Amino acid sequence: MTMAEAPRPPQAVRERVDRLTGGRLACAVIFDREFTPEEVRRFLALASAADSAPAHFRLEGRVVRYECAEADEARWRLALEILVVKSHRQTSPSRRVPDARSRLGLPPIPR
């Protein structure tokens, strides 16, 4: 699959923010389509050292939910957008690293 054939990442179309106690917010971002199981898997597999790591987001169909401090809402929203784009770019064949067997000229292991 080439990048031209790859489906585009889901695009955010709406956002809802509700105030919780203690200066926290409950946020829901609604996307234009549901995430595929493969997109969810790649999203959750991304590494992140920040407190806005993929595991802190809940993907439910086409809705992504998260809770954060009111002061950090913009940073969390940006982190979500970055993670969605990064998880989509993981499918690019040009980014795949050849395994050790192919570098040594050995045939691939049958699956």
The strand ranges marked E within 1-111 are: 12-19, 24-31, 58-60, 63-69
Least confidently predicted of 11-15, 41-45, 68-72, 100-104: 100-104
Average pLDDT, stretch 2-17?
A: 77
Longest dimension (CA), the chain: 60
pTM of the model: 0.71
Sheet with strand 12-19: strands edge to edge = 12-19, 24-31, 63-69, 58-60
Residues 71-76: contacts with CB under 8 Å, at least 24 apart? 71/23, 73/17, 73/25, 73/27, 76/27, 76/52
Q: Tell me which of 3 and 18 has the higher pLDDT.
A: 18
| Domain ranges within the chain, ordered by starting residue | 12-93
For residue 76, pLDDT beyond 70: yes
Q: Which amino acid is at 65?
A: R
Query: 13: helix, coil or strand?
Result: strand
What is the tens place of the pLDDT at every residue in 21-51?
A: 999 999 999 999 999 888 899 998 888 767 7
